[in-house]
Amino acid sequence: MQNFDIIVESPIQKTYRSQVTVGTYDITDEKITERFTGCIDIEKEADWSIGIIYGNSGTGKSTIAREVFGEEYIYIPEHHNQCVLDDFPKNLDIKTIHQMLISVGFSSPPSWLKPYSVLSTGEKMRVDLAMALLSDRDIVVFDEYTSVVDRTVAKIGSMAVAKSIRRTKKKFVAVSCHSDIIEWLQPDWEFCTNNMSFLRRSHRRPKIELSIYETKGYWPMFSKYHYLAHNMNNASKQYVAFYENVPVAITCVLPQCGQKNMYREHRTVTHPDYQGVGIGSTLSDFIAHKYVSSGKRYRSVTSNPAFIKHREKSPNWILAFSGRNSRHSIRRLGGAGIRKVTAWEYVINDNKKDKE
C-alpha cells in the first residue's frame, strides 16, 4: 500500500510582474501551497503489469508518480542521433531492438533509419515506449503518456503497448491527462487524481471493426511505409481497410504469371499509427480467404517478422516453397544472410479457428 501526503510549496518571487499580480488580485500569501493526499493500494513487488495515473491538468499526476515510485523510475527519453536505432543503448543487439520496435507496433524498417525529429507524433510515441521497455528499469513510469497524439492513434497504440508489456517482466505506469485510453491499455489498477480514487477492475478489449473496399488511388498514402519497396504494380487489385472512416491498411493482389487460377499478395502495408494490433494480418487473411473461397489459389511471400509469426500460428497458412512442407523451413537471402523470406499458401480450414 503506497500512502502519500505531498505538500508542494512555491514561494512568490518579488519581481515587478509578480507584485503587480499580487496587488491586482489581493493575494496575501507569501507562497503558493498545494497538497495531494491519497493511497495507491499496490506494492511495487506485487503481481501487476500495468497501472495508470490519470486526471485533469494540475491535479498532481506527475508529482504523485514521483513520490510513489521514485524519481529514478520516471522515464525521460533522449534522442541525439541521426538514426533512431542509434538512440538505443549501445549494449543492445540489433535483433532485440528490431523485435521491440515491432512489438510496440512500429513495424516500418525504413522509418527506423530516420532521425527521431522527423517522425510523426505516433511514431515518436512508439519509439519512446520501445526505449523505455528496453531500459534497465524494472518499473517504467511514462509521464505525459499519449498526451500529444491523436486520440484514435492513442487508443490503437495503447492496445499494442499493452500486448508488448505483458510479454515482459516489467511493470509499466502510464501518467496521462486522458481517460479514453483505459479500456485499450487494460491496466491492472487505476488511480484518478481528480478525486484521489483507486480502483482495480478488468477491462474487455475493445473490438476494432474494419470496413474493407476494393478501390484505387490509396497506394501513395502507404508506399513509403512498405518495409522493402515503394513501388506497386498498377495492374494489381487494391483493397483498403478503413477504421472509423480513416484508411489504415492496404493489400494489393496480382495474378501469378504462368499459373492459371493462382493469385499472389503483391503488397500489404499498415499505416504506422495503426500497427501492432493485427490489422495488417487481418486484412491479409480476409483477402486471401476471399480469393480461395471463390475457387482460386492464393500465395504470399514475406520477410516481415510480424507476418511470419502470425502465419506460423495460423492453421490457414501453409509454408510452401521448394516443394518442402515443413512450417519451419526458411530460406535466407541478402548479403549478410539475416533476412528471412517465406512463401505461404492460404487454405480454408473450417475445423480450426485462426489464432491471432
105 occurs within a structural domain: no
Helix (H) or strand (E) holding 66: helix 61-69
Which pLDDT belongs to residue 339? 60
What's the domain range around 162? Answer: 2-75+137-199
If asked whether residues 276 and 242 sit together in one domain, one would say yes
CATH code for position 166: 3.40.50
If asked whether residues 193 and 295 sit together in one domain, one would say no
Would you tell me how many other CB atoms lie within 10 Å of the CB of residue 71?
Answer: 9
Which pLDDT belongs to residue 321? 65
- Tell me which of 52-56, 153-157, 228-232, 256-260 is least confident: 228-232
Q: How far apart are CA 160 and CA 335, in angstroms?
A: 32
Given a contact cutoff of 8 angstroms between Cβ atoms, the answer to whether 303 and 341 are in contact is yes
272 falls in which pLDDT band (50, 70, 90)? confident
105 falls in which pLDDT band (50, 70, 90)? confident
Which pLDDT belongs to residue 314? 94
| Mean pLDDT for the chain overall | 87
Mean pLDDT of 178-205: 93
Instruction: Domain count for the chain, please give it.
Output: 2
**Start-to-end CA span in the chain (Å):** 37
205 occurs within a structural domain: no
If asked whether residues 52 and 182 sit together in one domain, one would say yes
Mean pLDDT of 162-190: 93
If asked whether residues 250 and 141 sit together in one domain, one would say no
Which pLDDT belongs to residue 329? 42
**Percent of the chain at pLDDT exceeding 70:** 91
Report the candidate in 129, 125, 117, 229 with the shortest Cα–Cα distance to residue 173.
129
Mean pLDDT of 91-108: 89
Q: pLDDT by residue (tens digit) across 119-132?
A: 988 889 889 989 99
Which pLDDT belongs to residue 331? 42
Which pLDDT belongs to residue 350? 65
If asked whether residues 251 and 195 sit together in one domain, one would say no
If asked whether residues 269 and 311 sit together in one domain, one would say yes
Which pLDDT belongs to residue 110? 82
If asked whether residues 183 and 148 sit together in one domain, one would say yes
Question: Which of 199, 223, 241 is a domain's end point?
Answer: 199
If asked whether residues 37 and 163 sit together in one domain, one would say yes
